[in-house]
């Protein structure tokens, strides 16, 4: 069910995007402490399974993940030690600098691509730490990020409504309950094995598929 969610909803049935996401996940698991310098943007309506998809990656990275960052100050603000040593982070409808997409884009580009980060911890001297975060950005916005013409940082996925928790799709509640119940210990063990055995030797995270959503 999880791989179907990935392919049909997250990748909207696009085989190229689906393969990229699987390889990105495998690369993340196979290369702890390394940074892909890319971000996957999941754009779509509420209740269609975006967070159910991400929850699994957060669980796989466990103590080294931040699963719900809603303010960019958590990366760059006065007290940002929460992101230190984190290999995976989820930006969930992140709040902007005065709602300026350009301002956020500048900060995001630095967070995505730069290999160090300044850590500000209460009652401690500022310090420089290695930036190993790999990021997925979840949003309902039509234009969530401002992109450069030659951008190589963002894979933008317009997620498809296959199942949705809403008045119109009441029966889909059962689908999502079944999906959540499938996330057993055996499921995680099998998924880790699958990702570790995936051949990523030819995978370059910065060779990102162009999508209609990105255009």
**Average pLDDT of 159-178?**
75
Residue 211 inside a domain? The answer is: no
pLDDT per residue as tens digits for the range 19-52: 999 999 999 999 988 999 999 999 988 888 999 9
Question: CA 56, 61, 63: angle at the middle one, nearest 5?
Answer: 120
Q: At 52, which helix (H) or strand (E)?
A: helix 50-61
Mean pLDDT, residues 97-124 taken together = 72
Rounded Cα distance, 101 and 97, in Å: 8
On the question of pLDDT at 133 being above 80, the answer is yes
Q: How far apart are CA 12 and CA 173, in angstroms?
A: 20
Q: Which of 139 and 97 is assigned the larger pLDDT?
A: 139
**Residue 185 belongs to what domain range?**
2-197
CA distance 24 to 199: 11
Q: Can you list the positions of beta strands (E) in the chain?
A: 39-43, 65-71, 88-95, 116-119, 127-130, 134-139, 154-158
Q: Is the predicted pLDDT of residue 188 greater than 80, yes or no?
A: yes
Asked whether residue 152 is assigned to any structural domain, the reply reads: yes
Alpha-carbon gap, residue 61 to 87, rounded angstroms:
7
CATH of residue 118's domain is 3.40.50.300
- On whether residue 66 sits in a domain, the answer given is yes
**Which pLDDT belongs to residue 58?**
93
Q: Rounded mean pLDDT of 110-137?
A: 83
213 within a domain of the structure (yes/no): no
The number of distinct structural domains making up the chain is: 1
- Contact assessment for residue 62 and residue 86, using Cβ atoms and an 8 Å cutoff: no
**Comparing 22-36, 46-60, 168-182, which segment has the lowest mean pLDDT?**
168-182
Sign of CA dihedral 46, 58, 136, 211: negative
Lowest mean per-residue pLDDT among 66-70, 78-82, 89-93: 78-82
The mean pLDDT value for 61-81 works out to 76
**What does the pLDDT read at residue 12?**
93
pLDDT tens-digit profile of 121-131?
777 777 888 88
């Amino acid at each position: 069910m999880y791989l179907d969610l990935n392919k049909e909803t997250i990748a909207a049935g696009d085989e190229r995007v689906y393969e990229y996401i699987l390889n990105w996940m495998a690369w993340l698991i196979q290369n702890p402490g390394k940074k892909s310098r890319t971000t996957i943007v999941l754009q779509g309506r509420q209740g269609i399974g975006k967070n159910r998809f991400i929850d699994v990656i957060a669980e796989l990275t466990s103590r080294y993940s931040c699963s719900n960052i809603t303010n960019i100050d958590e990366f760059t603000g006065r007290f940002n030690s929460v992101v230190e040593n984190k290999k995976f982070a989820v930006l969930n409808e992140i709040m902007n600098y005065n709602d300026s997409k350009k301002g956020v884009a500048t900060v995001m580009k630095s967070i995505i691509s730069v290999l160090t980060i300044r850590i500000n911890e209460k009652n401690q001297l500022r310090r420089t730490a290695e930036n190993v975060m790999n990021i997925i950005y979840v949003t309902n916005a039509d234009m969530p990020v401002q992109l450069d013409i030659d951008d190589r940082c963002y894979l933008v996925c317009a997620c498809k409504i296959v199942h949705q928790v809403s008045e119109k799709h009441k029966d889909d509640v059962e689908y999502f309950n079944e999906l959540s119940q499938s996330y057993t210990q055996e499921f995680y063990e099998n998924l880790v094995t699958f990702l570790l055995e995936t051949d990523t030797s030819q995978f370059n995270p910065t060779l990102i598929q162009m999508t209609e959503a990105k255009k």
